[in-house]
Amino acid sequence: MSTQVQEALQALGARLRGFRKDAGFASGRAFARATSWQESKVSRIENGKQRPSEDDIRVWCETTGQGDQLGDLVAIVRHVDEL
């Protein structure tokens, strides 16, 4: 994974972590329960270790009440694919 991709994924993960915390999910574990995901998946996405799918972004935005951010975040994921 290139440095540019890693940096983009880390920035995206930090943004998603902020959404999770703002929505009242104090831990990745609580968010994982709400989404029926594995806790490790939440951690990997938030720490830039895993590229979220567009579907993952959609679920994240819906669960955190950030639906208005969906288009921007999907564009970021698509940009990462091009790096």
d(CA 31, CA 24): 9
Handedness of CA 32, 19, 68, 12 (dihedral sign): negative
Where exactly are the structural domains of the chain? Answer: 3-82
Predicted confidence (pLDDT) per residue in 22-35, tens digit: 999 999 999 999 99
CATH class of the region 3-82: mainly alpha
Average pLDDT, the chain: 97
CA separation for the pair 67, 40 (Å, rounded):
24
Residue 19: the pLDDT is 98
Pair 69, 61: CB distance under 8 Å = yes
Report the first-to-last Cα separation within the chain, whole angstroms: 10
pLDDT of residue 1: 76
What would the pLDDT profile of 70-79 be if each residue is shown by its tens digit? 999 999 999 9
Model confidence at 44: pLDDT above 80: yes
What is the value of pTM for the model shown? 0.95
